[in-house]
Amino acid sequence: MERVNPRHRQAEPGRAICARLGDPGGLTRLVSATTSQLLDSLAYSGVPYRVAAPLGGVPVHAWDLRALAADAARDGSLLVVDNSLTTSFGCAALGRGADVAFEGACALQARDGDSPTDGGGGGSPLLFVSGARGRGRLAVEALPLDDAPPVVWEALLATEGERERRRRSANDAAQVVASYLRCHPAVAHVWYPGLRDDPSHAAAASILSNGFGPLVDFALRDGWRLVTDAPLVQGLLDRLPTHAQFRLRCPAGAARPLVMGLECALVRQG
């Protein structure tokens, strides 16, 4: 019989959040830790693990979590999924093969550009950490990290609807922007898992729901440049290591302003 630590079984309203996280048993923990502290704690436990994220890399692409889980199982490792970008609203990681999944609980407190797992904007670093049955759940229960009190669960439950609305809105904005950029004469290539011809579209469609994430990567053609501090896009663009390649981080409700901003920011050289 699987061991259950009563200290970690959540009561209402925690159980409502646990169900959304893919843990109907209510054993998800809300811990005070950054991502690096969480991973250090897992490493200290001596359990071998691999870390993956549903979306990531340069250029951005979706990962087939089921395939990664199978690879991890073959060498006896846990698959630990960082779900902070997509959240469990967008990727049910435990149902896609993850042994452990975590995501930031303070995303609504973070400023644009801050890490939601590190308490951007002055919020405390809080992580939801869930484990699938077996070694994943035991690993989560054994983490030597402080648990948040019930009052914090209550406050987070009150923001659940707004958090989902913002995530969907950001994903919708990214889909619009990606479609716009692929038709722009300045753009040589667009990487966005929501585009049907994107190399990772099939993987994204199999693991993501309600959108394909807020990140759009693109490369410019010769003879064009991008004014990164132009109005409406300032602070949302990052230059990637590849020459003339950029990443746009789309906030909620910004499809039209972003398109207008890019129209002004993409200019011919000379």
Our CA dihedral for 132, 138, 140, 142, rounded to 10 degrees, sits at: 180
User: Residue 253, SS3?
Assistant: coil
Scan for tokens 């394909």, then name that residue.
212
> What is residue 218's predicted lDDT score, i.e. its pLDDT?
97
Would you say 9 and 148 are in contact if contact means Cβ atoms under 8 Å apart?
A: no
Peptide bond into 59 cis (omega under 30): yes
Q: How far apart, in whole angstroms, are the C-alpha atoms of residue 103 and residue 85?
A: 8
> What is residue 154's predicted lDDT score, i.e. its pLDDT?
86
> What is residue 116's predicted lDDT score, i.e. its pLDDT?
38
Q: How far apart, in whole angstroms, are the C-alpha atoms of residue 42 and residue 259?
A: 43
Scan for tokens 């670093």, then name that residue.
125
User: Residue 195, SS3?
Assistant: coil
Q: How far apart, in whole angstroms, are the C-alpha atoms of residue 136 and residue 101?
A: 9
Task: Spell out the per-residue pLDDT of the chain, length 270, in tens.
Answer: 344 444 555 555 567 788 888 887 778 999 999 999 999 999 988 889 999 999 999 999 999 999 999 999 999 999 999 999 999 999 999 999 999 999 998 643 333 333 333 333 345 689 999 998 889 999 999 999 999 888 888 888 888 888 889 999 999 999 999 999 999 999 999 999 999 999 999 999 999 999 999 999 999 999 999 999 999 999 999 999 876 699 999 999 899 999 999 999 999 986
Report, at the CATH architecture level, how domain 12-155 is classified.
Answer: 3-Layer(aba) Sandwich (3.40)
- The partner residues of 220 in beta bridges, in order of sequence, read 187
> What is residue 8's predicted lDDT score, i.e. its pLDDT?
53
Which residue in 144, 177, 190, 166 sits closest to 249, CA to CA? Answer: 177
> What is residue 269's predicted lDDT score, i.e. its pLDDT?
87
DSSP 42-92: HHHTT--EEEE-SEETTTTEE--HHHHHHHHHHTT-EEEEE-TTTHHHH--
> What is residue 249's predicted lDDT score, i.e. its pLDDT?
96
Is 161-268 in CATH node 3.90.1150?
yes
The H or E element containing residue 26 is none
> What are the extents of the domains in the chain?
12-155, 161-268
- CA distances, 100 to each of 50, 93, 171 (Å): 10, 8, 25
Strands (E), 58-205: 61-62, 78-82, 100-104, 126-131, 187-191
Q: How far apart, in whole angstroms, are the C-alpha atoms of residue 199 and residue 86?
A: 19
